[in-house]
Chain A
Amino acid sequence: MSRRPTDAQRIDRAVSAVLAGRPVALPPPLADELSAARALRSDLPLVPPGDAFEEALALRLSDRHTPDAGTWVSDFARRHHRLVLTGAVGSVLVSTAGAAVVAWRLVHRS
């Protein structure tokens, strides 16, 4: 047994029809609401923003997801942690070796 739709459900269906441009009618107790819905459909336009605002915001959004140098380094490190670790260890070894050579030459010059 199906239940009779409530007034709110009938109005909602009628509004869907109005928005889709389909013909629809409701009996007098709800006819005023339907009339208001038709007025809204025709006299409540979309208000687009200006082109300059649209493009400026698009640019800001684009900037937001272009990673800066710090983010890029951390992203790269996360994705390539073995490579980064190897590089870091290699860098430390080279620096240590360089310091040892400089120290040896200073000692042997004197």
Chain B
Amino acid sequence: MPEPQPLQRPADGPAPETHAPGDPDLADVRAAQRDPHAFDRLYRRYLDRIYSYAFYQLGDHHDAEDATERTFLAALAAIGRFQNEGSTFRAWLFRIAHNAIANSHRARRRRRTQPITDARQQAAPGADPASVVARADQQREIRAALARIPAERRQAILLRFVDELSAREIGAVLDRSEGAARVLLHRALRDLAAELDRGDA
């Protein structure tokens, strides 16, 4: 079972020197369109982020794996049709993930199962047990507060903080304008701050 890790960005993130304007992944996307074996680079780069996005929404590792698998298989099948028109590859990829997760939610409603809402905490070797427990409590509090805000606001927060998408990319994923995505994120943070405040009280 995978464990949450301290907030880290993948070391092999998009390489700035190969950027096409506006889309850091474009060179790798073009390579994958010529040779599908090159898709592996994009897969390794975005696996953790897509998986995290799915896990935080579905709250279950099995469902998150299923949604992640469907996302990448669909992306590979459609990569030849991707065009860099007003949106980035990662916004396109997260849009696929967004739809896969929505399908998982629908399937779950049919199955009527309960998600597991608690991700396990892994302690770093030699870490102070008291600080590990305190950090686990903080993470649990954040996840509980996130679970209480409206779904679309939660999605905006996950896309911004876990996946580091811009407001424009979030708008592309959630089918909104850039300005509307900013407002959504602002309201999401306001709701979350209120929920955290309520938790403290």
- CB <8 Å contact, B51 and A47: yes
Is A91 close to B, CB under 8 A? no
The count of residues in chain A whose C-beta lies closer than 8 Å to any C-beta of chain B is 34
Q: Which of these binds chain B: A5-13, A68-76, A77-85, A102-110?
A: A5-13
Q: Which residues of A contact B158 (CB under 8 A)?
A: 44
Query: How far is B138's CA from A43's CA once the two chains are assembled, in angstroms?
Result: 7
Within 8 A of B (CB), among A45-81: 45-50, 53-54, 57-58, 60-62, 64-65
Is B68 close to A, CB under 8 A? yes
Q: Which of these binds chain A: B15-23, B109-117, B182-190?
A: B182-190
- Which of B49, B72, B189 has the most A CB atoms < 10 Å from its CB? B189
Within 8 A of A (CB), among B1-54: 1-9, 36-37, 39-40, 43-44, 47-49, 51-52
Is B128 close to A, CB under 8 A? no
A28 to chain B, nearest CB (A): 12
- CB <8 Å contact, B47 and A49: yes
- CB <8 Å contact, A61 and B76: yes
Within 8 A of B (CB), among A17-55: 19, 32-33, 35-37, 39-50, 53-54
- CB <8 Å contact, B5 and A47: yes
Grouping DSSP codes into helix (H, G, I), strand (E, B) and loop, the A interface class, with mixed when no group exceeds half, is helix
- CB <8 Å contact, B161 and A61: no
Residues in chain A within 8 A of chain B (CB atoms): 6-9, 11-12, 15, 19, 32-33, 35-37, 39-50, 53-54, 57-58, 60-62, 64-65
Residues in chain B within 8 A of chain A (CB atoms): 1-9, 36-37, 39-40, 43-44, 47-49, 51-52, 55-56, 61, 64-65, 68-69, 72-73, 76-77, 119, 135, 138-139, 141-143, 146, 157-158, 160-162, 164, 167, 179, 182-183, 185-186, 189-190, 192-194, 196-197
6 A-B contacts, Cβ less than 8 Å apart?
A: A11-B182, A41-B7, A44-B162, A45-B5, A49-B64, A65-B36
